[in-house]
Amino acid sequence: MIIVMKNDASEAQIKAVADKLVDLGLKVHRSDGEARTIIGAIGDTSKVDDIVIKYMAGVLNVVRIIEPYKLASRNFHEDSSVVEIGDIRIGAEKVIIIAGPCAVESEDQVTEIAKLIKEAGASILRGGAFKPRSSPYSFQGLGEQGLKLLHAAGKQYELPVVSEILEASHIELMDQYVDIYQVGARNMQNFWLLRELSKIRKPVLLKRGMAATIEELLMAAEYLMSGGNYNVILCERGIRTFENYTRNTMDISAIPVVKKLSHLPIIADPSHGTGIRDHVAPMARAAVAAGADGLMIEVHNNPAAALSDGPQSLLPNQFKMLMEELKIISWAIGRSV
């Protein structure tokens, strides 16, 4: 970490900054240039709050050399991590397809969708039971009943299941039914929830917040890992921008960026990323081409009647066609689906 002092910084101000860094357990190295003094801080800077240093008197700027995340960083773990769910390996050669309805609505609905995604070649079934909806009047999910139906459909078609967790008190309840806990965009920075999920060992699918930077996503992953849960799968699901023709702006560039910065697997969710059925397949293809380790796709057997996210849910035949296209794209980059 480098602290650049202002031109007119006094000796007392320079000393105060150096003393503060020493108090934090760091070694300091001072370098006096023609115009200004620079202080190099050497050691474990992960506990240093940049803002505190930045606003000390006489400080012009603070520059980090090493990222504030450690366990999630590729600098500390060169090889790509693989998260295993039974014999499914996320982060390995095969691109893992997670598909299913936005929300579990009924036994028939989730069973029929499980069957069709299995036949098309998907590996994991998704389905929300606790839904974080923008309106309190919208369908909020079937709760435990939804988890039971999801679990049963997964069992019938030999598909592990993933469902969103909204609060820490649900960890035990959900443990009976899900193979992966999903932390949604709205809870990416719910640090208390992350801390509780860090105590378990079941995989966590961590979605990027809709207004979160990539660094903030990796810091959220750091919360999970710092408590001991290394089974973290990241997910790019679109961010909010000024653009209104799509529900979110799918940040495909986050995929190669995360791959460089982190060893954790990253998947993409083009359903929430675009919010519009016709745009899901092109963004799914692009995400795989960009190096995503998997996809999460909303599929519905009757989207017109869906209780949530019908407009972005693929029709069964669209999903089948996408799976065929993904075979070719993954082959072109030395992978498979």
Residues that bind ligand PEP (CB under 6 A): 102, 128, 132, 164, 184-186, 207, 237, 269, 272
The CA distance from 240 to 71, in Å, is 28
The CA distance from 88 to 91, in Å, is 10
- Least gap, CB of 186 to ligand PEP (angstroms): 6
- Least gap, CB of 207 to ligand PEP (angstroms): 4
Q: Would you say 69 or 130 has its CB closer to Mn ion? A: 130
The closest residue (CB) to Mn ion is: 102
Tell me the DSSP string of 77-113.
--SPP-EEETTEEETSSBPEEEEE-SB---HHHHHHH
Q: Would you say 18 or 102 has its CB closer to ligand PEP? A: 102
Q: Would you say 62 or 217 has its CB closer to ligand PEP? A: 217
Measure CA of the first residue to CA of the last residue in the chain; give whole Å. 42
- Least gap, CB of 313 to Mn ion (angstroms): 8
By a kind-dependent CB cut-off of 5 to 8 A, residue 184 interacts, out of Mn ion, ligand PEP, none, with ligand PEP
Tell me the DSSP string of 162-226.
EEE---GGGHHHHHTT-SEEEEPGGGTT-HHHHHHHTTS-S-EEEEPPTT--HHHHHHHHHHHHH
Q: Would you say 59 or 103 has its CB closer to ligand PEP? A: 103
Cα dihedral sign, 226-228-233-237: negative
* Both structure tokens of 89: 């390996």
Q: Would you say 190 or 248 has its CB closer to Mn ion? A: 248
- Least gap, CB of 309 to ligand PEP (angstroms): 7
By a kind-dependent CB cut-off of 5 to 8 A, residue 237 interacts, out of Mn ion, ligand PEP, none, with ligand PEP
Footprint on this chain of Mn ion (rule: CB under 5 A): 102, 309
Q: Would you say 170 or 237 has its CB closer to ligand PEP? A: 237
The closest residue (CB) to ligand PEP is: 184
By a kind-dependent CB cut-off of 5 to 8 A, residue 277 interacts, out of Mn ion, ligand PEP, none, with none
Q: Is 215 left (phi over 0), alpha (psi -120 to 50) or beta?
A: alpha
- Nearest Cα to Cα of residue 232 among 223, 242, 240, 221: 221
By a kind-dependent CB cut-off of 5 to 8 A, residue 101 interacts, out of ligand PEP, Mn ion, none, with none
* Both structure tokens of 317: 């035949």
